Amino acid sequence: MSIDAAVAHLLATDPRFAVEPVRIRGVDYTAFSNIPPHTRALLERAAEVQSANGDPFLVFGEERYTYEEFCRHINVLSGVLSSRFGVEKGQPVAIAMRNCPELLMLMMAITSMGAVAVFLNAWWTTEELDYAIQDSAARIVFADGLRSERLAPLVDQLDLAVIGVRDADSTGPLSFSGLMNGAQPFDETVEIDTDDDMAIMYSSGTTGQPKGVVQTHRGAMNAVYTWLMQAEIAALVEPPEPDAPAPLRPSFLVVTPLFHVTATHPVFLLGIAAGAKLVVMEKWDADHAVELIEREQITRLVGVPTQSADLMVAAARMNTSLNSLTFIGAGGAKRPAAQVPDLVARFPGAQIATGWGMTETNANGIGLVGREYHDRPNVAGRLYPPVQELRFLDDAGNQVSPGTVGEITVKSPCNMRCYLNKPEATAEVMQDGWLRTGDLGSIDEFGVVTISDRKKNIVIRGGENIACLDVEGAVHRHPAVAEACAFAVPDDRLGEVVGVGVVLKPGATLEPEALQRFLGDHIARFKIPEHIWLLEGTLPRGTTDKLDRRALRSMCLNKQAEGPEFT
């Protein structure tokens, strides 16, 4: 069956994937009509398939939770938020921690009572946390040890209630276990509209401060059911052999940070709906990932390309092909084309896939899997049906012809509601329901998209988006710096890392290592430039006297090729 025929068949025969025209905030869309309207309904609807698939539902180290236990914790947490803190519908509640079960429980407890989950990047400094907390207006923060330490200077200033989780449980006046002990489940019925706000996730943009992406329940649920439908499409396009063994229970390994959409949506939320077991890693370790995949019979892994590469090396060293894996996807950054045949050879039983999505699209977007991707590893994939539309626009907003490079622009109910407190930035990218992504690409006669460049000044380091202006703003805080311009430097393992060209003030001296140490107090470690060029005179500029980032990058990389003394 062709892809188009499979889509038409499912739309006509499977009620889960029925669609209808809807009007959202004055704009007409196509959306799923029979899906859960919000996260609380998702938990309720998934109970049957989760029970049928067996226990456990959630694994973290030696901890194992049934689905019933997981939902019970969620209900008690909602009760704590309501009775202890007076949290009401629409109120922001922040989460700042590494991957752990409490993060997932909090996400669902907050959103299923109609409040808004605010995800804070666990790598942020105190300054960065300060910005996001003030921007989101969250005054309740659940945080683990290191995040609690970073939040400590803000508690009195912002009148925060910080609840210690895991290694912070016994270090402050409010502890997670203390609040949960003896607490009663949430017993209220809060009416949640499908277009109510669900979460705020911060995404780096071209401005110096991160943007709070406001996601709705409808956006997230439409993304989840889009991915569920892709699995059904794949089974119709390439049906399993009649004598194929019964498939393993779906088991997903969570390997990327849960404050990012790649982990929360196409892994966690999809895992709930698919009846999957979820195995959570606190942090990435390739050898441990191999052990978990074998022990828990993991079937699906979605991570940044660096993690796929690390997994290959570890599996080869440990002499295993990880036969339970049936799907290895990439998100957060583009996988190097040269990695694809190596993955196919190392993991012959797994479908190797690529995907493109954004925090602004609830991670929904474009993808390609299997043989077609093996044959064309440089492409981004096809638009996932059936609720998305796709255009390619020139700088004036006109649609370009197929095969011509334009800005990738998508329309779907999965798109964000807005950038929090940034109406001008919202208006710049959201026009009549269409989201201008800032990525440049083209589409061929087969509907396959190739991404060629970025309009935005972003460095994607191992899946982390880093705004060049964010880095430059921090570098300029050093009293010896006169000018600074950041850019992407190719890296074999991480894809890209941050480089910066710096001109010092007359008579000033500064060693690159000293600048890196200085930056550690102002920006997260992953944003700190790994390559620093100290230049004389002025940085290159274009005809309008703006800094010429591309020219500087080319100049610095040429210097790097001449010898290490230039960095």
Provide the terminal-to-terminal Cα distance of the chain, rounded to the nearest Å: 55
Q: Does residue 492 fall inside a structural domain?
A: yes
Could you tell me which of 38, 71, 272 has the C-alpha nearest to residue 185? 71
The token pair at 1 is: 């069956």
* Distance from C-alpha of 380 to C-alpha of 365, rounded to nearest angstrom: 10
Residue 364 is predicted with a pLDDT of: 98
Q: Does residue 318 fall inside a structural domain?
A: no
The whole-chain average pLDDT of the chain stands at 93
206 or 72, which is more confident? 72
480 or 172, which is more confident? 480
Residue 442 is predicted with a pLDDT of: 94
Could you tell me which of 310, 316, 333 has the C-alpha nearest to residue 260? 333
Of the three residues 215, 243, 267, the one that is the final residue of a domain is: 215
Which amino acid is present at 391?
R
Residues of the chain with pLDDT > 70: what percent?
97
Helix (H) or strand (E) holding 213: strand 211-216
Model pTM? 0.89
Q: Does residue 23 fall inside a structural domain?
A: no
Helix (H) or strand (E) holding 492: none
The predicted model gives 284-293 an average pLDDT of: 97
CATH of the domain at 170: 3.40.50.980
- For residues 38-48, one letter each, b for 16 or more C-beta atoms within 10 angstroms of the residue's C-beta and e for the rest, the string is bbbbbbeebee
Q: Does residue 341 fall inside a structural domain?
A: no
* DSSP β-bridge partners for residue 453: 440
CATH of the domain at 498: 3.30.300.30
* Distance from C-alpha of 313 to C-alpha of 295, rounded to nearest angstrom: 19
**CA count, 13 A, side-chain hemisphere, 433:** 18
The token pair at 392 is: 């390619």
The pLDDT of residue 194 is above 70: yes
pLDDT tens profile 302-355: 998 889 989 999 999 999 999 999 999 998 777 888 889 999 999 999 999 999
Band of residue 567 on the pLDDT scale cut at 50, 70, 90: very low
Q: Does residue 561 fall inside a structural domain?
A: yes
Band of residue 473 on the pLDDT scale cut at 50, 70, 90: confident
The token pair at 148 is: 């609690």
Could you tell me which of 463, 8, 479 has the C-alpha nearest to residue 232? 8
Report the SS3 class of residue 397: coil
Report the SS3 class of residue 466: strand
Q: Does residue 131 fall inside a structural domain?
A: yes
pLDDT tens profile 369-428: 999 999 999 899 999 999 999 999 998 899 999 999 999 999 999 999 999 999 999 999
The token pair at 510 is: 């500064």
Length of the chain: 567
Q: Does residue 198 fall inside a structural domain?
A: yes
Query: Tokens 């779906």 label which residue?
Result: 250
Give the range of the structural domain holding residue 160, as residue numbers without chain letter: 64-215
* Distance from C-alpha of 89 to C-alpha of 81, rounded to nearest angstrom: 11
* Distance from C-alpha of 5 to C-alpha of 11, rounded to nearest angstrom: 10
* Distance from C-alpha of 231 to C-alpha of 486, rounded to nearest angstrom: 41
Q: Rounded to 5 degrees, what angle do the CA atoms 440, 443, 444 make? A: 145
Which amino acid is present at 566?
F
Q: CA-based Rg of the chain, rounded to a whole angstrom? A: 24
Of the three residues 166, 191, 215, the one that is the final residue of a domain is: 215
pLDDT tens profile 477-506: 999 998 899 999 999 889 999 999 999 998
Of the three residues 162, 185, 215, the one that is the final residue of a domain is: 215
Domain total in the chain:
2
Please state the φ and ψ torsions of residue 484, each to the nearest 5 degrees.
Answer: -155, 145
CB contact at 8 A, 252 and 298: yes
CB contact at 8 A, 139 and 158: yes
Could you tell me which of 44, 12, 18 has the C-alpha nearest to residue 30? 18
Q: Lowest-pLDDT range, 96-100, 195-199, 205-209, 556-560?
A: 205-209
Q: Does residue 376 fall inside a structural domain?
A: no
The pLDDT of residue 467 is above 50: yes
